Structure 1
Amino acid sequence: MQTVVRKTQRKGVRSTQNVKSLKNTEQKMNLFKMFERFINYKQTEGLAKPTIQGYYEHFHYLNTLLDGDIPNVEVTLGLFRDYIGYMLHEQGLKPTPVNVRIRTNRAFFRHCNQEGWIEIPIHETFKPIKTPEDKIQAFTPAEVKVLLNQIDDSRFVGFRDKVMIYVLLDTMVRFLNYLI
C-alpha cells in the first residue's frame, strides 16, 4: 500500500505590489458589483435559498432609495441613515421590518468593509431601532375558570384539552396562539 503525502503550503509569496494594484481595482467598484460578490460569497457558505432571497429583497429596497447604482466611495453612513429615515418616514414602515432590513444590510456592509471595498466601517455605527416591548396580558383566575368550565372532560378529547391547558398554565408557556 502506497502512502500519499499532500503538500499543505503553496509555492510562491504574494507580493505587496499585487495587493496594492488589487486595492486600486476594488476602489473603483460599484454597489451592484459589491452585492454580486457578496451574494456569491454567501452562496459558497451554503446559506438557504430563502436567506439569499432575503438579501436580494432587502438590497432591492435600498436600491429603490438610491434609484440606480453608485460607486463604492459614495457608500457612507449618511447614505444609510437616509435609508433608515426613508423606510420609517416616507414608506411608513414599523420598526420591526426596518430592523430586519438593517440587519441584512449590515451583513452586506460588514462584508464590503472586510474585503476592502468600502473604507468606512458603517456597519459598526448604526444599530437596530428601538421597538416597543410587547405587553402580554395574563389570564385572570376567573378567565381560567371560565375556560376550563367550557370543556366537556367526560370524553377523551375534552380530557386531553383540559390536561394540555393545565400543563400550559403550570409551566407558564404562552398558549394564546394554540387556543385561537
Structure 2
Amino acid sequence: MNRRKLSNRNGVGHKSLKRPNRRLERDDVDTVMVSVALKSFVEAKRAEGLRDRTIEAYNEHIKLLMRYMGGDFPLSKLTADQIREYVNYMLYDRLTYQEDEHRKKKKKGLSANTVNIRLRTLRTMCNYWFLEGMISTNPMQNISQVKSDYVEEVPGLSPKEVKKLLNYLNDEFFGDYRDRLLIMLLLDTGMRINEAVNVKIGDINMKRSTVHIPSARAKNRRYREVPATLSVLQKLVELYHENESYFEQSEYIFLNTDGEPYSSDAFRKRLNRIKVDIGMERLSPHQFRHTFCREYLLNGGDLFTLQKIVDHADIKTTRKYIQMDEDNLRAQHGVYSPVNKYLE
C-alpha cells in the first residue's frame, strides 16, 4: 500500500400566552439587559437537553441583533416596532456574509428564509422571557413570518460539477483521498455532514450494507440504519485501516492530518478553497445531501422512502429537496410527455 502525503498540496496540512403569575418588579423589568436575559435562556435550554449546535445558533442570532442595536441593551427597548425595523434592515439593507472578510461577493438583503429563521429564534426567546417575567409584554406576539412568493430551492450539484470536483482531488494526498470518500458517502446516503464525519468503524455493517446513526448523533434524536452501497463501505473500511498506519488507533473513519476526528467546519473550509480553484460559484456539504435526494427521485425512488432515509420529520421538508432545474425538467418532460405516443 502506497503511503499518502499527509500535507495538503499547498503544504497546509403565534399563539397568545397567558401572563405569568411570577414576575419581576417593574423597575427590574425595565432594566434587564439582553445579555443577562440571553444567559438565562441558554441555561434553561441546556437544562432541557438542547444540543450545543442549537445553543450556538441562539447565541449567534442574538449577537447579530445586539450588533444592529449598537451593543447590549435593556429588553424594554425590544418593542414590536423595533423588531419590524430590524426585519426591514435584514430584508433590504444588510449585506450577505457581512462578517466574512474572505467573501468577495456581497449583496444587500437577506433571503426571506434566512430572516424567518432569525424571527423563529427571537420568538422562542421572547416567549421564554415573557413567561419568566423578564418583559412585561411579548413584542413578538403580533410579528408574522415574512411572506415570499418564491420557494427557495436547495441547490444541488450537476453530474458535470460532481465529476469536476472528483477529478480535482488527488489521491496521492491523504486529505484529498479522505475528502473523496466523504463526498462519496454523502452522495450515496444523503447523510447530514455532522452525521457523516462522525461515522465510526463500529457503525458500519457490511452484511446489511448499512451505516448505523445512533440517536445521540441524529438531528431528530432518532437512531436509524442508513442503506449504503457495499463498495463505498469497503472503501471506508480501507481508509480506517490506512489511518492505523499514520496515527494512533481511533474509532473514527474520518480524521484530520493530526489524527484527530475530522470536523464539518474543516470540511466546509476545504470546499470553500476548492471551489475557488475549480471555478465553482457555490460548494457546500449540504449540496451533496440535496444531490442525493434529487437523483434518488429521478432514478425512480419514492418520496416516502426518501423521507425515511434522510430522516425528515415532515414530508414537506423532503418535498423541498425535489425542486429541479430546467435541465432536469426538460429531460423528464422528454421521457414522460403523453404526446410521444401520438407522434409515432
Which one has a bigger Cα radius of gyration? 1
CA RMSD of aligned residues (A): 3.2
After superposition, the Cα gap between the structure-2 partners of 1:44 and 1:26, relative to the gap in structure 1 and judged at 3 Å, is: farther
Deviation at 1:175, TM superposition (A): 8.6
Q: Which runs of 5+ in 1 are unaligned?
A: 1-18, 137-160
Matching residue of 2:77: 74
Matching residue of 1:33: 36
After superposition, the Cα gap between the structure-2 partners of 1:135 and 1:69, relative to the gap in structure 1 and judged at 3 Å, is: closer
8 Å CA contact 1:26–1:116 kept in 2: the answer is: no
Matching residue of 1:99: 116
After superposition, the Cα gap between the structure-2 partners of 1:49 and 1:117, relative to the gap in structure 1 and judged at 3 Å, is: same
8 Å CA contact 1:32–1:69 kept in 2: the answer is: yes
Q: Is residue 165 of structure 1 aligned with residue 167 of structure 2?
A: no
Quick one: which of 85, 88, 96 aligns to 2:91? 88
Q: Which runs of 5+ in 2 are unaligned?
A: 1-21, 95-108, 154-294, 306-318, 329-344
Deviations 1:18-46 (A, max 9, x none): x67x5357423111111111111111111
- Amino acid of the residue matched to residue 43 of structure 1? R
Deviation at 1:94, TM superposition (A): 1.0
Q: Where has structure 1 moved over 3 Å in runs of 4 or more?
A: 133-136, 166-169, 173-177
Separation in 1, partners of 2:116, 2:152: 20
Matching residue of 1:122: 139
Aligned length: 132
- Percent identity (aligned): 27
Matching residue of 2:342: none
- Amino acid of the residue matched to residue 23 of structure 1? E
Deviation at 1:50, TM superposition (A): 1.0
Separation in 1, partners of 2:85, 2:152: 31
- Amino acid of the residue matched to residue 100 of structure 1? I
After superposition, the Cα gap between the structure-2 partners of 1:175 and 1:58, relative to the gap in structure 1 and judged at 3 Å, is: closer
After superposition, the Cα gap between the structure-2 partners of 1:42 and 1:25, relative to the gap in structure 1 and judged at 3 Å, is: farther
8 Å CA contact 1:72–1:118 kept in 2: the answer is: yes
Instruction: State the TM-score, normalizing by the size of structure 2.
Output: 0.34
Matching residue of 2:15: none
